[in-house]
Amino acid sequence: MKAVIVIGGSKGIGNAIVSNLISNHKVINISRTAPSQTHENLIHISADVLNDELPDIEAADSLIYCPGSINLKPISGLSIDDFREDYEINVLGAVKAIQKYLPSLKKSETPSILLFSTVAAKLGMPFHASIAAAKSGVEGLVKSLGAELAPKIRVNAIAPTVTDTELASKLLRNEKMIDAITERHPLKKFLNPQEVAKMALFLISDNAASLSGQIFEMDCGIVSFKI
């Protein structure tokens, strides 16, 4: 059975990934709170990726890094600390996890790393300066590490549009906002965590053996189309 380290599997997209993995993978989840589900294949280790030392894990086939932020403010309202915090959780947390678990991944026959960006790294949107800058850093990591770790370790990212999780709850807090977000997307929908999880499972699977260094826009058309 393949082993997958999920950082941030207690909630949101990471939790959907854990749910989809546990029937046929060994899953080691690292987050500050525990996932609600329990399973014989699931080990939870409580840790704050930014402030705690990450636990030793002997061997793993994939690393999925889910923590992120949505900090939407006009540039005049964004402090340097806002930019720093977004960079820390999105980029430096991922770097810390990758550096820690690279030796464990190198023991696998088919290792892979999966990170999360956002559509806002490609699509210029007002009030997204801090998160767009941080996630562009994530995309840079995917490109650079994809090359550096080839051919052994594949590195990819999913760049979702709005996904119905706790992180996005402020954007989806009433019917009017839900309707406006649905309407803004050419496919007239936004994402649920399950469909993002399915894409994540594909990208760490052997079916994606030819894919590395890529950013997969799950955009419901918002980046791809102008209709």
Closest to ligand NAP by CB, 3 or 131? 131
What is the distance between the alpha carbons of residues 169 and 163, in angstroms, rounded to a whole number?
9
What is the distance between the alpha carbons of residues 116 and 95, in angstroms, rounded to a whole number?
13
Closest to ligand NAP by CB, 150 or 177? 177
Interface residues with ligand NAP (CB under 6 A)? 7-14, 31-33, 48-50, 66-68, 89, 116, 118, 160, 162-163, 165-168
Closest to ligand NAP by CB, 8 or 137? 8
CB of 221 to ligand NAP, least distance (A): 15
Closest to ligand NAP by CB, 7 or 204? 7
CB of 107 to ligand NAP, least distance (A): 24
Closest to ligand NAP by CB, 79 or 169? 169
CB of 112 to ligand NAP, least distance (A): 17
Judge whether 168 and 162 are in contact, CB under 8 Å: yes
CB of 95 to ligand NAP, least distance (A): 14
CB of 150 to ligand NAP, least distance (A): 24
Judge whether 68 and 10 are in contact, CB under 8 Å: no
